[in-house]
Every structure is written in structure tokens, then in C-alpha cells.
Amino acid sequence: MNSSIVNIESWFIPIDIIITIFTTIAIGLTVLCLCLIIFDKTCHTIHMLLVANSCLTAFIFGCAMLSSFIIMLINDLEGIYYPDSYCIFQAYISYATCAAFNYSFVLQALYRYILIIYPRVLFWQQRRTQ
């Protein structure tokens, strides 16, 4: 039976709303962490700089996902099933920020590795080297 009418399930809209709410909460928490790191002078260390890098990447990823989820909610409310032209750009931004997120974790891991394996070699712990 071929039909051009798309059946939008009734549970799509509540799930979209829940996803949007939790993404907004995640964005708020990353902004809170970034503000704490920026305004607290005791957090101005190399380790916290790397954590701020991860928070900034999470913020950008959250904003990209929030815009995607809002468009998904609007499309589900209106019964639109075809992707819009902005969808490809959103997917690119999402993949790019995921790669940047992984890169920030690699930077943190390398910093911790050097700090533990080479604790006496001060060359690796200078600001110019890092």
C-alpha cells in the first residue's frame, strides 16, 4: 500500500520536548562552568584551561544540537518529513564539534600523562612548551 501521507507517531513530540529541555540544561551547565573558570582567579591554571576548552566545545555542540532539536520539534508539530536545506550544515557542525571534543580530551590526557610520567622534567611543564 503506497501512501504519500506520513504517519507521525504520537510519542515523537513529547520526546522532542524532553530532548530540547535536557539540551538546554546541558548548555546552561557548561555556561556556568565557563563563567566559574573565567571569573575565579584560582581556576587560572593549565589544567582548568584544558577543562574550559572541553566546556567551550560542549557548549558549541549543545547549541548545534539545540538548533537541530528545535527544527525537529517544529517539523514534527507541522508533520513535515523531508529534511530542510539547513540539515546538512547542522550535521557538519555536529561532526566537527564532536571531533573538537575528542581533541580536547586528547589534550587533557597528554597533559596528565606528561605530568605523571615526567614529573621531574620541568621543560614539559613550562607555559612556553604547552
Residue 56 has pLDDT above 70, yes or no: yes
Reduced to 3 states (helix: H, G, I; strand: E, B; else coil), residue 79 is: coil
Q: What is the pLDDT of residue 33?
A: 95
The model's pLDDT over 87-130, given as tens digits with 9 standing for 90+, comes to: 888 889 999 999 999 999 999 999 899 888 877 776 666 655 55
Across 32-59, average pLDDT: 93
55-63 average pLDDT score = 96
Higher pLDDT: 80 or 108? It is: 108
**Rounded distance between C-alpha atoms, residue 99 and residue 79, angstroms:** 33
Res 2 pLDDT > 60? no
| 85 three-class SS | coil
Kindly report the pTM of this predicted structure.
Answer: 0.82
pLDDT computed for residue 92 by the predictor: 92
Distance CA 130, CA 114 (A): 11
pLDDT of residue 11: 82
Q: How many CB atoms lie within 10 A of CB 81?
A: 12
Three-state secondary structure call for residue 114:
helix
